[in-house]
Amino acid sequence: MANDYYATLGIARDAGPDEVKKAYRRLARELHPDVNPDPGTQERFKEITQAYEVLSDPKKREMYDLGADPFARGGGPGGFGPGAGFQFSDIVDAFFGTASARGPRSRARRGRNATLRVELDLAESAFGTTRELSIDTAVTCTSCQGEGTAPGTHPDTCDTCNGRGEVQQVQRSFLGQVMTARPCPQCGGFGSVIRNPCPECAGDGRVRSRRNVKVKIPAGVENGIHIQLAGEGEVGPGGGPPGDLFLEIVERPHPIFERDGDDLHCTVEIPMTAGALGTTVTVETLDGAEDVDIKPGTQAGQVITMYGRGVRHLNESGRGDLNIHVNVETPGHLDEEQEELLRRLAKLRGEERPPGKFAPGQRGVFSRLRDVFNQH
């Protein structure tokens, strides 16, 4: 024999089919042109591929063991150009078993996911709610029950591929004969043909319909969060399983509260006298109106925190806080009596000509940039 294929693959003459395949895969990974670009390995890759084609085929191997080399006459025309009628991936598929492992594919496929925007008030986001949503989506065709055929009929086995879903071709290359598999052009790889499509769904197995879904929205959701409802999306073609439904939460602005995570913020304005003497104000909360004490001497910008009056924590116990920012109003447009009273108060407190209290202000961006440049 001109070629010792067993030595080429590094296996014994009594090696089984699995050993032949394992040896070839190991060598192919080392010598594949995409992995090892060295020109010297290309010829070696051709040799192991030719050896594998002979030893993996029972008839060719028997012929070789009897002393006849199937490639003794040089095989067929080589090359990977258009004239060869196949691609290099065909050879890899044939040797690694990917081409012959396709088989007929199912018409049933998983449906697509759907997204629905849900607008909520702040109270609904904070405490949770239940909504009945109307969804326009794909549902299983009731006429054919997802099969896609007219009533009383069923898909017929494809005459071209005999139900395999693929057709095989034997082509010759510089490596010899290579068998490739392609999806059947007649049935599209399904292995069956729908000759009488369902008139309701045109063979798709599903139709568009509007349905209602009752969903429970948990407490603590916020703007932009997505809630996944498994199996509530579109039904797949051919009666396939449905995808998922995602609810995108859109929180409407509140006229009083501004939300920061699970905390809430609002502002209350009080007159200067109330800030100085103290008072009680009624504040609207998510739980209803509540009285809040303003202590004497409260300054503008002071924050009063009402613990546990914010939004419930998502998937946790407890709630955030409500922060009340106090704004002390300075009176304007005083009449003579009011102005006289304030002057007397200023005199009693020694504040007729106050010296003022100064503190460092916030530094602007140009000052910070100047300091950066001065450091270099």
Question: What letter represents residue 350's amino acid?
Answer: G
Q: How far are the Cα atoms of 107, 275, 339, 343, 360 from residue 352, in angstroms, in the given order?
A: 90, 20, 13, 8, 25
How far does CA 332 lie from the centroid of its chain?
Answer: 58
Q: What is the DSSP string of 286-331?
A: TTEEEEEEE-TTPPTT-EEEETT-SPBPTTSSSB--EEEEEEEEPP
Which distant-in-sequence residues (6+ apart) come within 8 Å of 34 by Cβ? none
Sign of CA dihedral 298, 303, 307, 312: positive
Residue 187 is labelled as binding a ligand: yes
Residue 201 is labelled as binding a ligand: yes
Answer for the pair 203, 113: CB distance below 8 angstroms, yes or no: no
Question: What letter represents residue 35's amino acid?
Answer: V
How far does CA 218 lie from the centroid of its chain?
Answer: 22
Structure tokens at 297: 């001497």
Residue 266 is labelled as binding a ligand: no
| Helix axes 39-56 and 17-31, enclosed angle (nearest 10) | 170
Rounded Cα gap, residues 265 and 267, in angstroms: 7
Q: How far are the Cα atoms of 191, 310, 325 from residue 320, in angstroms, in the given order?
A: 60, 4, 16
Rounded Cα gap, residues 284 and 286, in angstroms: 7
Residue 184 is labelled as binding a ligand: yes
Instruction: Give the long-range contacts of residues 198-203, CB within 8 A, separation 24 or more.
Output: 198/141, 198/143, 198/144, 198/147, 198/148, 198/149, 198/150, 198/151, 199/143, 199/150, 200/141, 200/142, 200/143, 200/144, 201/141, 201/143, 201/144, 201/148, 203/148, 203/149
Residue 144 is labelled as binding a ligand: yes
Which distant-in-sequence residues (6+ apart) come within 8 Å of 43 by Cβ? none
Residue 161 is labelled as binding a ligand: yes
Q: Is 132 helix (H, G, I), strand (E, B) or coil?
A: strand
Rg of the chain (C-alpha set): 40
Which residues belong to the annotated binding site for Zn(2+)? 141, 144, 158, 161, 184, 187, 198, 201
Which residues belong to the annotated binding site? 141, 144, 158, 161, 184, 187, 198, 201
